[in-house]
Amino acid sequence: MAEPQEDFWLFGYGEDHRGTPEAPGRVATLIDRAHWETLTDHHDAPAEKVWGAAYHIPASHAARVRDYLDIREINGYSIQYTPFHPAGGDRAQPIRCLVYIGLPSNPQFLGPQDPQALAEHIVGSRGPSGENKEYLYQLEEALVGLSAESGDEHITDLARRCREVEAREGVEARGQGAREVVGHPLHKVGSTEEQEEVEK
């Protein structure tokens, strides 16, 4: 299919750098359905449609945006065009959108992962654009906000697991903080005088 010569629409489903080379963050990536069917997975088959947002790129910015996207996405992604159907919109016809589809040859593509291990990794990853968990929480919120049908079971489950990891780690951190104030393992205080000494 020929590329648009003037303005174009770009399908966005969330991508950002939320990690470091040592602890890379995890982001959502669209992959071809045929490739998805070759993978083992921990959740049900995906719906026949993907929810996201379409961004109109005016002709005055089209070349610059395409150049930027090609540099950012071209390694490990294929450029495709797909019909986009606005939810509850007035448009009778779908919009033709450019979309980047992840390729299995992309070295950053990991395939299926254990959801709990993935949640632990996400909570511990952060990078120049912020914390990986915030990317996930914002993605979940955005998907839920698009339509009554747009929530994603896998994203919601992953966000729940991350919040549980955060809550657990928060309790552990508070416990460690209490021990650090004392300077040694907690012990029973036998008198007011001893308690005052320990609290100094």
Find the catalytic residue in 3, 22, 48, 73. Answer: 73
d(CA 91, CA 35): 32
146: Cβ–Cβ under 8 A, 6 or more apart, which residues? 51, 52, 53, 87
Looking at residue 91, its pLDDT comes to 64
22-31, 41-50, 171-180: least confidently modelled range: 171-180
Kindly report, residue by residue over 144-178, the tens digit of the pLDDT.
888 888 888 889 999 999 999 999 987 565 554 44
Looking at residue 17, its pLDDT comes to 55
Kindly report, residue by residue over 53-104, the tens digit of the pLDDT.
888 989 998 888 888 887 776 667 888 899 998 877 666 688 899 888 888 8
Strand 126-127 vs strand 77-84: parallel, antiparallel, or unpaired?
unpaired
Query: For residue 4, is pLDDT > 50?
Result: no
Looking at residue 136, its pLDDT comes to 93
Cα dihedral angle (31, 71, 146, 161), rounded to 10 degrees?
Answer: 60
Nearest to 51 by CA among 85, 27, 100, 79: 85
Catalytic site residue 164?
no
DSSP label of 95: E
